[in-house]
Amino acid sequence: MSYLALFLALGGTSVAAVGLANHSIDPVKLNARNIGGYVREWASINANGHVTASGGRLTVREELNVFPGRYYFRWHTKVTSPCTVIGSVDTGTGGAPGYLTAGLATPRRAQPTSIVDTYNAQGQPSDEPFEVEMLCTTPR
């Protein structure tokens, strides 16, 4: 799945690099109303589920002995535009990195919540330190 995503991403970049003439993108097409976004909140989490640094406030709960590498988040912010959650596993040792999957639920009357699953370099669910960000589109 990740190879397919990489292939598509690189293919799209190649098409843009080859298929677009110089100066064909003008400031109107790059208008912030048409494209844009920002990091709403971010956090660095250690393998035990403790927040080591953050740009915002969130609560993390890890399901120890139930699902290794599964972390539940409650973001303490109000979401005013469409958002998603992304992140990366931090090996810190220079070894092969693992990866993570993340999702975001934004109930109407509750705080946004996320589930993050971390995996080691072999693809096995594992408690890993990671960074996570909530990215939101620019409100209009």
CATH of the domain at 73: 2.60.40
Q: Give a yes or no: residue 126 inside a domain.
A: yes
**Structure token pair of residue 114:** 């996320």
Q: Give a yes or no: residue 86 inside a domain.
A: yes
Q: Give a yes or no: residue 131 inside a domain.
A: yes
Q: Give a yes or no: residue 3 inside a domain.
A: no
Structural domain that includes position 87: 35-137
Beta strands 99-105 and 37-45, pairing class? unpaired
pLDDT at 79: 83
Q: Give a yes or no: residue 17 inside a domain.
A: no
**Structure token pair of residue 1:** 């799945």
Q: Give a yes or no: residue 97 inside a domain.
A: yes
Q: Give a yes or no: residue 71 inside a domain.
A: yes
| pTM greater than 0.85 | no
Count of Cβ atoms closer than 10 Å to residue 40 Cβ: 20
Average pLDDT, the chain: 76
Query: Considering its fold, how many domains does the chain have in total?
Result: 1
User: Strand order in 99-105's β-sheet?
Assistant: 58-62, 70-75, 113-119, 99-105
Answer yes or no: are the C-beta atoms of 72 and 114 closer than 8 Å.
yes
Count of Cβ atoms closer than 10 Å to residue 73 Cβ: 25
For 58-80, the pLDDT digits (tens) are 888 766 557 888 888 888 888 88
For 15-39, the pLDDT digits (tens) are 445 555 666 666 555 665 556 788 8
Instruction: List, in sequence order, every residue forming a beta bridge with 113; answer none if it has no partner.
Output: 74, 105
Could you say which DSSP state residue 139 is in?
Answer: P
Looking at this protein, which amino acid is placed at residue 66? V
| Selected residue with higher pLDDT from 109 and 68 | 68
Q: Give a yes or no: residue 68 inside a domain.
A: yes
